[in-house]
Amino acid sequence: MKFLRKISQKLSRLWRRRIFLDHASTTPIAPEVDKTMRSHKIVQFANPSALYTEALEAKKLLNGSRERIARILNCRKNDIVFTSGGTEGNNLALLGVFEAQLGHRMSKLGNFAPHFVTTIIEHPSVLEVFKEIERRGGKVTYIPVDEKGMVNPNSIRAALKKNTVLVSVMYANNEIGTIQPIKEISKIIQEYRRKIKRQNSTWPYFHTDSCQVPLYLSVDCLKLGVDMMTLDGIKIYGPRGSGILYVKSGVETMPIVFGGGQEKGLRSGTENIPAFAGFAKALEMADEMRERESERLKIIRDYAITEILKNFPKASLNGSADERLPNNVNICFPGLNAEFAVISLDVLGVCASYSSSCRTLKEDSSSYVVESLGKTECKESSLRFTLGRDSKKGDIDYLIVALKKIIKQNLVEPIPFQSIRIPPQFLETEEGEN
């Protein structure tokens, strides 16, 4: 396998055209964001916790970035906690609430352990945290999804208990792009709060991992009715190592990183001023471009799904066809060795994935998300193609050509490298292509 990867990397450099179809994993930094960061790296280098003039300017920039983000999230600026990205944000949200409730609140309920509700298709940075919470004595209920990857809000209602402190449901899935009914789930949680009439507390809290959605869906926390929300700069053409956790005023939580007490005491460490300024710029651009970019990508997404299913009759779409992110195409090819397919596509100039990128470092890198749809035969035979701002219809035409080269009788065979031939029309991007 290592030898094949090395060969694919060398051969991929020979082709003049590279098509990136893995935007759910990461996005390039937008030029406007890079420009913002560069300007602040030169001017605002000081520690915002200090008292001299440069430090005060840095603090002003940090607070300005917080205010810009808060306007888009429709929340108070003090509700924004800067983080290093989605993984840290999810860890802080879940472990922070667990530690806070375990420490003093839950002791008033006798021997009940803090209880959490989530789904079986959450990102590893959520599911792995819940495993740790269980190891520490917490209780977790994992809600299944239907064949389209949708969560039934009534299942959330049935799982709520008097000792439930938090519900975490991903806004849209990173693998299959399914969009969950967040507003409906929020109403159920709010009704439950009123029903039990708990005094001086607002839990169960509602957390949502929204890292995949700012480019395509509103992240208005007030309208969504969430208490905590995680966002990641790497998913929105922002800087690496940047993200935020929205924490609604009144949510009882604890830090998981200790030190100087920055970010309201929830995230110690000197703030990365240029990165957070870049994140604010990226989120503003996402908000401004959201509607037109979503409409543009829906056309390309639907074209891709149609063309793939037409050319590969045994293939099937994973996830909902309707409640789906505009940029997500996840297809099951029965009998496919997805890992070999990704490597083979790389040789032909196409960047794609076969499960969550955060799972590929695991020994078992099959897709538990696809398996949860009841498609056990597809958990190691599915490919994910996710579009971005540079994606065009011509990219899909090229993808179909590449797929035909590597899929034979619904089985993937290692490509004889000497036989690779790319049609001339696909070697360079044509002007006017859309």
Catalytic residue ranges: 358
- Tokens standing for residue 52: 């001299």
- Tokens standing for residue 85: 């990205």
The pairing of beta strand 243-247 with beta strand 80-83: antiparallel
- CA dihedral angle for residue 88, residue 90, residue 93, residue 96, rounded to 10 degrees: -60
Q: For tokens 């035979």, name the residue.
A: 381
Q: For tokens 């990205």, name the residue.
A: 85
The H or E element containing residue 34 is helix 31-43
How far is Cα 377 from Cα 371, in angstroms, rounded to an integer? 8
In sign, the C-alpha dihedral spanning 55, 61, 64, 65 is: negative
Q: Quick check: 266 and 253 in contact, CB under 8 A? A: yes
How far is Cα 153 from Cα 103, in angstroms, rounded to an integer? 30
Q: Quick check: 93 and 230 in contact, CB under 8 A? A: yes
How far is Cα 230 from Cα 201, in angstroms, rounded to an integer? 22
How far is Cα 118 from Cα 185, in angstroms, rounded to an integer? 12
How far is Cα 121 from Cα 139, in angstroms, rounded to an integer? 18
- Tokens standing for residue 110: 């006798």
